[in-house]
């Protein structure tokens, strides 16, 4: 028996089989869950192709978190087709080019607001979709990157992640009475499509591997996926508002 037997999990953010979200979806299936994926915009066709690498192949539904009509439509589709959801994985993030690399002070609010809406506020948007489908409680888990320090080149995405972390705590506080847990998994750098778009990512990879007490493999999503699946399970019924670090111990080290 798997730790997610009988559970239905909605997973966002799958683009390729190198995506952290793909690792989560695969591990969730191995642990007995029924998985549903979402994709958005031009990435939707890529999500559908990647879904074929999962067994069984999951349904792929459209979700642009900035489009109120798509949010409404997905809510209705999930309710009509599935009735209930036991867990959801938030792996959504985006920042315009001006917000990553370059001069921190140069990014205009028009771009910063996009980064914050898609990367932070969308956690609340996802909660709006799944909470009505969790009458018996559930678990929402978000993919995070440590926002307690200022990283080279991460710039306004770091600010968005700080907002993301705060949003998770407020959701945990407000949804707890309904038996819904909200937690984040703060991962070390993974060599995904999203990561490769960040200037200076390769230098961060090298530093991480050197300093993490347990070492770090930026090509292996399995440690992050396993932790996420555990947080989706009934093993952590009294844990909410938490950020679990899966980074080889990097966060605990000094120079």
Paired with 245 in beta bridges are 186
Report how far residue 204's alpha carbon sits from residue 191's, in angstroms, rounded to the nearest whole number.
11
Domain boundaries along the sequence of the chain: 8-247
Would you tell me the crossing angle of helices 109-116 and 155-175 to the nearest 10 degrees? 40
Is 154 catalytic? The answer is yes
Q: What is the pLDDT of residues 125-161, one digit of tens each?
A: 999 999 999 999 999 999 999 999 999 889 999 999 9
The strand ranges marked E within 109-242 are 138-144, 180-187
Please report, rounded to a whole number, the percentage of residues in the chain having pLDDT higher than 90. 89
Tell me yes or no: is domain 8-247 CATH 1.20.1530.20: no
- Which residue out of 26, 53, 161, 196 is catalytically annotated? 161
Mean pLDDT score, 75-80: 98
pLDDT at site 46: 97
Is 170 catalytic? The answer is no
Q: Taking the model in full, what pTM does it have? A: 0.96
User: Are the C-beta atoms of 141 and 185 separated by less than 8 Å?
Assistant: yes
Tokens 């792996």 -> residue: 91
Report how far residue 78's alpha carbon sits from residue 67's, in angstroms, rounded to the nearest whole number.
17
Report how far residue 108's alpha carbon sits from residue 5's, in angstroms, rounded to the nearest whole number.
47
Nearest to 180 by CA among 226, 119, 132: 132
- Which residue out of 48, 76, 154, 170 is catalytically annotated? 154
Mean pLDDT of the chain: 95
pLDDT at site 206: 77
pLDDT at site 254: 77
């Amino acid at each position: 028996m798997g730790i997610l037997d009988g559970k239905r999990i909605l997973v966002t953010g799958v683009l390729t089989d190198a995506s952290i979200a793909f690792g989560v979806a695969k591990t969730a299936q191995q642990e007995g869950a029924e998985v549903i994926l979402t994709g958005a915009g031009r990435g939707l066709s890529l999500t559908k192709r990647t879904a074929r690498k999962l067994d069984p192949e999951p349904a792929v539904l459209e979700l642009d978190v900035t489009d109120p009509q798509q949010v409404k439509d997905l809510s209705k589709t999930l309710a009509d087709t599935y009735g209930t959801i036991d867990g959801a994985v938030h792996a959504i993030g985006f920042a315009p080019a001006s917000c990553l690399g370059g001069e921190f002070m140069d990014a205009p609010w028009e771009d910063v607001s996009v980064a914050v809406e898609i990367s932070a506020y969308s956690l609340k948007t996802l909660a709006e979709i799944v909470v009505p489908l969790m009458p018996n409680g559930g678990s929402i888990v978000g993919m995070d990157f440590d926002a307690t320090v200022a990283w080279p080149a991460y710039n306004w995405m770091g600010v968005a992640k700080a907002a993301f972390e705060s949003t998770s705590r407020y959701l945990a506080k407000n949804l707890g009475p309904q038996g819904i847990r909200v937690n984040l998994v703060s991962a070390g750098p993974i060599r995904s499509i999203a990561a490769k778009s960040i200037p200076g990512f390769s230098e961060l990879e090298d530093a991480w591997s050197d300093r993490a007490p347990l070492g770090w493999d930026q090509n292996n999503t399995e440690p992050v996926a396993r932790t996420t699946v555990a947080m989706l399970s009934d093993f952590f019924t009294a844990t909410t508002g938490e950020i679990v670090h899966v980074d080889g111990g990097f966060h605990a080290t000094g120079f």
